[in-house]
Amino acid sequence: MGVSVLFVCLGNICRSPTAEVVFRERVKAAGLEDRIRIDSVGTGDWHIGKAPDPRTQEAALRRGYSMASLRARQVSPEDFADFDWVLAMDDANLADLKVMRPASYQGTLARFLDYAQHTSVREVPDPYYGGEDGFDTVLDLIEDGAEGLLNRVREQL
């Protein structure tokens, strides 16, 4: 018995793969890697099969997270059968997921940052078209969310 967590953004090359590696690191540190399954996807199809954005990878590596082996994939309705938690990076992602969610879904569909405990920001801003600072902001928010999320998820184990 375990729990499964899916992170969702638009392209699956910046925010949600960052959340995947940061959360995986926290889960490993807690010794729970055999009990929590983690993946990330995008709502869009533009970057399917691509590695994360180089700027995202560099910002993550500066904090010790390697994302090089990840490849983008697009969300599908079947993901709701596979994941107990489906967590959107922003409100647009959440709206798209609500349309796709089967009526029978018993898991939790929410904004990832609803679990962050040290910020009132509730959306991870899309860094794709912004400056370099955006990638560090994304990491700050995601580290906060990952900590709070792990506290919640482990209650289900």
Query: How many residues belong to the chain?
Result: 157
**Taking a C-beta distance cutoff of 8 angstroms, is the pair 113, 140 a contact?**
no
State the minimum distance, in angstroms, from the CB of residue 71 to ligand 4NP.
13
Using the rule CB under 6 A, is 14 a contact of ligand 4NP?
Answer: yes
| Cβ-contact 75, 47 below 8 angstroms | no
Closer residue to ligand 4NP, CB minimum distance, 10 or 67: 10
Q: Which strands, in side-by-side order, build the sheet including 36-42?
A: 36-42, 3-9, 85-88, 108-111
Select 33 or 123, whichever has its Cβ closest to ligand 4NP: 123
Which residue carries 């807690």 as its tokens? 30
Reading phi first (left if > 0) and then psi (alpha if -120 to 50, else beta), residue 124 is in: beta
String of contacts with ligand 4NP for each residue 43-72, x by CB under 6 A: ---x--------------------------
Asked if 39 interacts with ligand 4NP (CB under 6 A), we say: no
By CB under 6 A, tell whether 96 contacts ligand 4NP: no
Query: Does 13 help bind ligand 4NP (rule: CB under 6 A)?
Result: yes
Catalytic-role residue among 9, 79, 84, 144 = 9
8 binds ligand 4NP (CB under 6 A): no
For residue 11, give both structure tokens.
């392209």
Nearest-angstrom CA–CA distance, 38 and 96 = 20
Question: Contacts with ligand 4NP: how many residues (CB under 6 A)?
Answer: 11
Q: Is residue 9 flagged as an active site residue? A: yes
Is residue 75 at the binding interface for ligand 4NP, with CB under 6 A as the rule?
no
Tell me how far apart the alpha carbons of residues 18 and 3 are, in angstroms, rounded to a whole number.
19
Residues within the interface to ligand 4NP (CB under 6 A): 9-15, 42, 46, 126, 128
